[in-house]
Each structure stands twice: as structure tokens, then as C-alpha cells.
Structure 1
């Protein structure tokens, strides 16, 4: 879909060069308006493209949980894994904000700090599976179906 839009835009640009060289300024104005129409049509086509299901996977370690007994630790690890999976969904929908700072003194790297953050609302995520991975970790897989992704993206726009 995107490649079709890009091809249309390139064809319009090629026609613009040809028109400008043969017939002068008025043709250039007409060609610019035709390029704008082609790009607007491409935007509509991209917005209408089918949204796929988005899947997020998260992990939680049992031994790292602060509970007193093993069953509480397991439940807490599953909760951590689910939140990690939801964070991954949020990153896919809203994007990830990266803040980075590097300090170099006398051509030697002294400090390199990178921070990432994401902010968004996820609704309607389904838990597909909760699996133990090894003896100390849980994996949780969640998904958002295409209708819910489309609603979230529409709300963001």
C-alpha cells in the first residue's frame, strides 16, 4: 500500500519536472497541485490500511519478588510479566521516548546515559498464555485485536 503511494508520488514528481522544462511557470503550479492531490490520496490509503493484531510478551522472575512464601512470589512474578507485556504493547502503539546524554572529556567517553519512557492507555488486551520458563521465570503473552488497535490509534490522532 505504501509502495503504491510512493510510486504515485514519484510519477507525479517526474511529470512535474517534464512540464516545468517544456511549458513554463503556470504548468508548475498545476503540477504542484496535482502532487498535493496525489499525496493526500496516499495519506487516505495509508490510514485505511488493515491494522494487524499486536502481541506483547513479558517476563517476571519468581526469586526477585519480595513475598514471604513461594505461592505469593509466583503470583507476583505473573503480575510483573503481565505488566511487562502491557508495556511492550504500549511501546508498539504509542512509540518509545528516548533521552540520551553522553559526556566525552579529552576524547575519552566518561559517561553515557540512556533513558526510555512510554506513556499510553491500553484497553481490551487479552492474555493468550502464561507459561513457566525454566524454574524461576514466567512468560505472559497478551494481544490486542485489530478493532481495539484501530480504536486506540483513532483516539491518538
Structure 2
């Protein structure tokens, strides 16, 4: 009986040692819920805004400034869409089995802070910007875990 017990104990010990050595400490968690609470990195979003210079302006400088404002506004809108989503409303009027009127409206309501313009170019009347927002994963989770 004593020999049987010692053999069982030695087998369990060997099994624990082998299984403990085979697990990797640096491996990412396989559970998706655990990955959602990984606060070790940053989340980053990049968008590209574009604005066209108007034709009828007082000066070329005014056209460039207006195109730049349009590009920045487009960039903020795109960030708002990515972070908060878009609300879509639609309505249709049908008369005599035909569509008489169809309206679709898209709306974005967002508060964007700390977005940075990382690149800007103006070529052939088109102002293009690259806008980026970066936040810690912990802050991301606080804002968007609903």
C-alpha cells in the first residue's frame, strides 16, 4: 500500500512539473473577455479628412483656409462616426404602389478631444489632412463600455 501511494504521489508531481513547464507566460489570453480588460496598450484611430477649395473667393489664401477648415471638419466627423456611431433616420412616401418621396438623414453626435493633425497637404484645390486620436486602453474602456 505504501509503495502504491508513493508511485501515485510521484506521478502527480511529475504531471504538475510537466504541465507547469509547458505553459507560456507571455502568451495572450485565449478568453475574449479577458482580452477586453487588457489595459497594457493604447488604442489609436486614424482618419483622413478632405476639403475642396471654393472657386469664388476673395483671394487664393481664403480658398486654402476654407478648404483646410472643411478638411478638419470632415476629419472630426469621421472620428465621431468611428467612436460613437451614426444615427440613421429614413422615411418613404408610397402612393399608387410607387415611391413618391424617399428621405434619408444621417446624424453624428460626438465630443472629440485631443485629436491631432499629423499630416496636411494641399494639391489641385484639395486639402487633405491625416488626423489621429490616441488614448490609453483604460480610458477607452471607461468611455465606451456601455
TM-score calculated relative to the size of structure 2: 0.67
Distance 1:84 1:51, change over 3 A: same
Distance 1:82 1:107, change over 3 A: same
Give the structure, 1 or 2, with the largest relative contact order (CA under 8 Å, sep 6 or more): 2
As a proportion of its length, which structure holds more helix? Answer: 1
**Pairing 1:106–2:88 present:** no
The aligned residue for residue 14 of structure 2 is none
In structure 2, the gaps of 5 or more residues are 1-27
As a proportion of its length, which structure holds more strand? Answer: 2
In structure 1, the gaps of 5 or more residues are 6-41
The aligned residue for residue 118 of structure 2 is 128
Task: Tell which structure's C-alpha radius of gyration is larger.
Answer: 2
The runs of at least 4 consecutive aligned structure 1 residues that moved more than 3 Å come to 47-52
The Cα RMSD (Å) is: 2.6
TM-score calculated relative to the size of structure 1: 0.62
